[in-house]
Structure 1
Amino acid sequence: MVSEVKAARAPIHGDSVCATNIGTQPGYEQPSMELESHRPQEFERGPRFWVIIIGLGISTLLASLEHTVVTTSAPRILEELQMREDFIWVTNAFFVSSASLTPLIGQMCNIFGRRWVFLLIIALFTLGSGVCGGATSGGMLIAGRAIQGAGSGGIVLTVNIIVSDLVPLRNRGTYMAIILAIFGIGIAVGPFIGGAIAEATTWRWVFFINLPIGGYSLIPQAVAGIPGAAISAASLSRWGRFKALQFAGFAATTMGMGLLSMLWEGTSVAEWATFQCIAALGIGIVIDALLPAFQAPLDEADQAAATSAWGFIRAFGSIWGVAIPAVIFNNRIDEMLKTISAPTARKLLASGGAYQQASAAFVMQFPQSVQDEIRAAYREALQRVFWIGAIFAGLATVLVLIERDVTLRKVIDTEFGLEDGRKSTHEATAGRKV
């Protein structure tokens, strides 16, 4: 009888009555602990746990660098490949590809396990970087960025899935905050790396080399975003609630965007850095409170699917987060062209050329009066972009009020996780590990 029980499938909901009947029959021996039905596990951290977290962090850093590494090197890239208004697809192809493959990657993680899918998307990311670095035309660069985006989006998604497998929902925010901090560092130093490489060698090494060096103009934003994520993580672990955090985060983001819309030529470094910090603090709080809220109402068995759905929505939002500001910026620049007296400057700034020409060297080549006109055009365009951003953030603040608050779980109940050598019936049947 015992051998027959050992061969049986893992118990599922509704099997408890059958198990009780079997246990009352004559000659039945109580099975050992390894034959008990699968139970939620307490959260344990060991050396292997931290090795995995470190590995995930390194992968996240490489993926995050490519989100912003082209921002400062773009003028040189666009000049050599003559892309002009097509420049937006250097970024959009990255995010479109990331969004489109996210649901598929999530399901692949359920079918084939996390490990092999993770290795596959890292290879895909490396391939895309090579294509970008060797690009001889705008189309080839865009294709490379699309491949790179699929790999980068897959890395971010599977990192979130693996962390969800290892950490219970109540504690998950802390480790998500660690990953987010690494992601923020990559976002921050990306522009510096891109600009430094483009100045010292060629823009192609922007894609061939992904090494952290340092940063400047985006550093205040990253520095403020990390504490925001830490505040969110600590609050989630302590109280297990996310609604108040999201409200506070979106409200701070709205305030920061509104303040950024007041920037002008005379704004001091201290002012714009403070405005960035306010917006970044809000974003940091919100980002760390979104995924736990998305996962909270669902069973652990559905976490990969839920995480991939969340990743798709986030990536889809990133597409519009690039496309909408770009359209607003370019349209406002075109409206302001009539205020610029130099025909040469108007021609270079028209039809999406303002982004390509966004450098001090371009502005300084004109007489002082024309420089003032160009700076005014950029100011007006940026102010409108930030106003639209404040409106979207304000709308999100209002929508949080109708959200349902769900208490976060403190235990893990998943068929994926670290192998510990103690297999229950459920684990023997599933046989799948991170």
Structure 2
Amino acid sequence: MEQQKTEGGDYIADEVTSSKEPPPVAQQQIEPFQPDAAEEGVIKGPRFWLVFLGLCLAGFISAIDINIIFTALPTISHELGGEGDYTWLGNSYVLAVTSIQPFYGQLADIFGRRYPFIVSIAIFTLGSGIAGGSKNTAMFIAGRLVQGLGGGGMIMLIDLIVCDLLPLRERSTYLGVVLGACAVGSVIGPVIGGAIVTQTTWRWAFYINLPVCALTLAVVIPFFNTKAGKPLGWFKSLARIDFVGNFLFIASVTSVLIGLISGGVQAPWNSWRTILPLVLGFLGLGAFFVQQAYCKEPIMPLRLFTHRTSATVYLQDFIVSIGLQWCVYVLPLYFQSVRATSALDAGINILPINAFMIPTGALAGALLTKFGRYKPLHWVGFSVLSVSFALFTLLSKSTSTVTWAWFEILAGIGIGLPLTTQLPAIQAVLPESDAAVSTSTYSFIRSFGFVWGATIPAVVFNSRVDANLNVVSDPIVRSALADGGAYGFAINVKYLTGKTLQQTLDVYTSSLRIVWFVGFAISVVGFLLVFGEKHVELRETLETDYGLTSETNRDTQA
């Protein structure tokens, strides 16, 4: 086999002439575009920008939907009589979003990007209508599950379509712009939810999705026309779907998430109702990866993890997601308990993270496009994130506003630097033919990390509260804080007085300090993982079978 070595040290096969095994990252060369078009790069005409607008709208509405429910959920639960199903009213969407993403990756490889993306938006729209029109909790949970099945595809396909539109070197810049649209949705989601609940019915928290989805479809349907790879008949296309792998994956991830979401809420962590789904889920994931090793067309091929760069950056993706959710989960708890703020003020107080994460992510993308170096950005990012978590251990009732705001700014910078530069680093060592599976795996790991980012601090916090309860002399308060009750009791701390107040604040402060120490340790692991990365030159030309259709090769790139 004749091979051509790239500047990054990886190999591309030119012609197969023997049965000699290629290096792990060697792949058959994809048919390139016309040289003159490749040299001039991607032409960003009106169609490109309209499609990109559609991606930003889809990211915006999916981010709003994830966050809008938090302020509306108490009202929804009360009106539908679902107090006992509170956990699933809020988390059914997360479960569906996380488990479905690799399936969309395979559909995108088989049928192209256009139809899965349109279908995912349509499913999300349908779920919004069902949730908004719910008459009982079962209907609401069903609507949220349908929304999640659509939202999971939207979230994953947005990143993938950016990969199809732009060469590797430019992707992080545009991923940063989409991240900005998502972040805006995340910031204003709770505000919109609170305003809707206050001024009108909670149902508009879901009906509001309908006009935005209609606008997104109005942009996507006429302008997002793509090639669909190699054309096959429907029977052959359906035969390519890894039904066994998808079943194992969805069932296993669902089982794990059921354990994580219900643990400590609907059943204690040491209960068989929590342990059994976790054990079955992880055993199922083990069986899934064994099956993937022998599958002809897997949804998560093991080759994605055979290169040290892709393997370590996937782990970094998991840690960054944990870190972001860690801040979003723990900081409001600190403000409502130790600082005695309202839930609304607590939400406002964490805005510095988003305010600096968004521009930092955009800046990191621009720097990667300019210099083509992702490893320094990851080093700096995890260094700053580790420092911010270490500083968070100093938080107390007397911490000044300027101090905790700067701690949050550092966290936003530490998260933003790797957030938009991880996917290009993963794809630098993989061929363009793996764009869909690498992106779906990246999106899944990110969503899975969000769940762990709420679960780990909750477990640590509750265990430390139980260990420190002996300092609280009031038996009523001590009972309210025990066995996972401290999180819900946070809003009542401001009503305590005297010695009981000080004792309770000591429990919260000391317990939260340990939570931040654990987060610091996890962020340090992310920093150490950067040492495992290998620099690979980012491709500056676009080689894809799924670009925008047009009359010329050059327009295909545009």
Name the TM-score, length of structure 1 as normaliser: 0.80
Counterpart position of 1:163 = 162
CA–CA separation in structure 2 for the residues paired with 1:350 and 1:199 = 33
Matched, 1:305 2:304: no
Counterpart position of 2:406 = 274
CA shift in 2, pair 1:377/1:150, >3 Å: farther
Structure 1 counterpart of 2:535, from 394, 405, 422: 405
Say which SS state the counterpart of residue 69 (structure 1) adopts: helix
Displacement of 1:108 in angstroms is 0.8
Displacement of 1:399 in angstroms is 1.0
Q: Percent identity?
A: 38
Of 173-182 and 297-306, the range deviating more from structure 2: 297-306
Matched, 1:173 2:303: no
Counterpart position of 1:230 = 362
Counterpart position of 2:53 = 54
Structure 2 counterpart of 1:248, from 377, 380, 387: 380
Conserved? CA contact 1:169–1:411, under 8 Å? yes
Q: Could you report, residue by residue, the CA deviation over 1:182-235 in whole angstroms, capped at 9, with x for unpaired residues?
A: 1122222233333444444555544443599x9722321111101211221121
CA–CA separation in structure 1 for the residues paired with 2:360 and 2:434 = 28
Conserved? CA contact 1:91–1:322, under 8 Å? no
CA shift in 2, pair 1:201/1:159, >3 Å: same
Counterpart position of 2:548 = 418
Larger radius of gyration: 1
Superposition CA RMSD, Å: 3.2
CA–CA separation in structure 2 for the residues paired with 1:168 and 1:237 = 10
Structure 1 counterpart of 2:522, from 392, 400, 422: 392
Conserved? CA contact 2:77–2:89, under 8 Å? no
CA–CA separation in structure 1 for the residues paired with 2:63 and 2:397 = 31
Counterpart position of 2:463 = 331
Say which SS state the counterpart of residue 320 (structure 1) adopts: helix
Counterpart position of 1:24 = none
Conserved? CA contact 1:92–1:322, under 8 Å? no
Of 388-397 and 90-99, the range deviating more from structure 2: 90-99
CA–CA separation in structure 1 for the residues paired with 2:62 and 2:349 = 20
Conserved? CA contact 1:75–1:357, under 8 Å? no
Matched, 1:122 2:254: no
1:372-387 map, 5 Å: 372-387=502-517
Conserved? CA contact 1:92–1:319, under 8 Å? no
Displacement of 1:291 in angstroms is 0.4
Displacement of 1:307 in angstroms is 0.8
CA–CA separation in structure 2 for the residues paired with 1:154 and 1:53 = 16
Displacement of 1:102 in angstroms is 1.0
Q: Letter of the aligned partner of 2:419 in structure 1?
A: I
CA–CA separation in structure 2 for the residues paired with 1:144 and 1:109 = 24
CA shift in 2, pair 1:195/1:342, >3 Å: farther
Say which SS state the counterpart of residue 401 (structure 1) adopts: helix
Conserved? CA contact 2:73–2:90, under 8 Å? no
Conserved? CA contact 1:132–1:140, under 8 Å? yes
Q: Could you report, residue by residue, the CA deviation over 1:383-430 in whole angstroms, capped at 9, with x for unpaired residues?
A: 332222111111010011111111101110112222221269xx9xxx
Say which SS state the counterpart of residue 405 (structure 1) adopts: coil
Say which SS state the counterpart of residue 248 (structure 1) adopts: helix
CA shift in 2, pair 1:124/1:338, >3 Å: farther
CA shift in 2, pair 1:141/1:254, >3 Å: farther
Q: Letter of the aligned partner of 1:65 in structure 2?
A: I
Say which SS state the counterpart of residue 373 (structure 2) adopts: coil
Matched, 1:45 2:44: yes
CA shift in 2, pair 1:329/1:201, >3 Å: farther
CA–CA separation in structure 1 for the residues paired with 2:150 and 2:513 = 34
Displacement of 1:61 in angstroms is 0.8
CA–CA separation in structure 2 for the residues paired with 1:124 and 1:270 = 44
Counterpart position of 1:21 = none
Counterpart position of 2:447 = 315
Displacement of 1:298 in angstroms is 1.7
Name the TM-score, length of structure 2 as normaliser: 0.63
Could you tell me which runs of 5 or more consecutive residues in structure 1 were left unpaired when the two chains were aligned.
1-11, 16-35, 428-432
CA–CA separation in structure 1 for the residues paired with 2:531 and 2:59 = 32
Q: Letter of the aligned partner of 2:518 in structure 1?
A: I
Conserved? CA contact 2:123–2:146, under 8 Å? yes
Counterpart position of 1:27 = none
Q: Letter of the aligned partner of 1:324 in structure 2?
A: I
Displacement of 1:135 in angstroms is 5.5
CA shift in 2, pair 1:355/1:208, >3 Å: farther
CA shift in 2, pair 1:122/1:376, >3 Å: farther
Say which SS state the counterpart of residue 64 (structure 2) adopts: helix
Counterpart position of 1:98 = 97
CA shift in 2, pair 1:239/1:409, >3 Å: same
CA shift in 2, pair 1:89/1:346, >3 Å: farther
CA–CA separation in structure 1 for the residues paired with 2:86 and 2:413 = 30
CA shift in 2, pair 1:73/1:171, >3 Å: same
CA–CA separation in structure 2 for the residues paired with 1:251 and 1:191 = 30
CA–CA separation in structure 2 for the residues paired with 1:207 and 1:370 = 42
CA–CA separation in structure 2 for the residues paired with 1:245 and 1:127 = 40
Of 188-197 and 216-225, the range deviating more from structure 2: 188-197
CA shift in 2, pair 1:128/1:333, >3 Å: farther
CA–CA separation in structure 2 for the residues paired with 1:66 and 1:321 = 19
1:176-187 map, 5 Å: 176-187=175-186
Say which SS state the counterpart of residue 216 (structure 1) adopts: helix
Conserved? CA contact 2:357–2:415, under 8 Å? yes
1:281-292 map, 5 Å: 281-292=413-424
CA–CA separation in structure 2 for the residues paired with 1:192 and 1:336 = 35
CA shift in 2, pair 1:335/1:254, >3 Å: same
1:182-261 map, 5 Å: 182-201=181-200, 203-209=202-208, 216-261=348-393
CA–CA separation in structure 2 for the residues paired with 1:135 and 1:342 = 43
CA–CA separation in structure 1 for the residues paired with 2:200 and 2:72 = 11
Conserved? CA contact 1:76–1:198, under 8 Å? yes
Q: Letter of the aligned partner of 1:409 in structure 2?
A: R
Q: Size of the alignment, in residue pairs?
A: 392
Could you tell me which runs of 5 or more consecutive residues in structure 2 were left unpaired when the two chains were aligned.
1-12, 17-30, 213-344
Conserved? CA contact 1:57–1:182, under 8 Å? yes
CA shift in 2, pair 1:218/1:65, >3 Å: farther
